Amino acid sequence: MANNILYIEDNPDNMTLVQRALEARGYRLLKAMNGLDGVAVAESEQVDLILLDINLRILMDTRWRVDFAKAISVNFHQCRSLR
């Protein structure tokens, strides 16, 4: 198992805190500072878990939130079907 966690967070302090906690436990943290970058990472890397700041500025618009959720859902199901 790869133990890859994607963390999508626009607050650098939160990113650092989570990175230290997860990497100390042997996880590989993939980072994105906004929702669009998060989708790109999720599509290009093997991700086992996504942690998402649901208050990202770009996701505050309901349309973006739905589109982002669909993109993550599709990617998740594609990854599961490849295993």
pTM here is 0.69
* Residue listed under structure tokens 């998060």: 38
Domain ranges in the chain are 4-82
Distance CA 29, CA 32 (A): 10
Measure CA 26 to chain center.
18
Pick the CATH number of 4-82 from 3.40.366.30, 3.90.550.10, 3.40.50.970, 3.40.50.2300: 3.40.50.2300
Number of neighbouring beta carbons within 10 Å of residue 68:
21
Condensed to tens digits (0 to 9), the pLDDT of residues 18-33 reads 999 999 999 999 999 9
Distance CA 76, CA 47 (A): 8
Condensed to tens digits (0 to 9), the pLDDT of residues 27-71 reads 999 999 988 888 889 889 999 888 888 777 655 454 555 555 555
Helix (H, G, I), strand (E, B) or coil at 52: strand
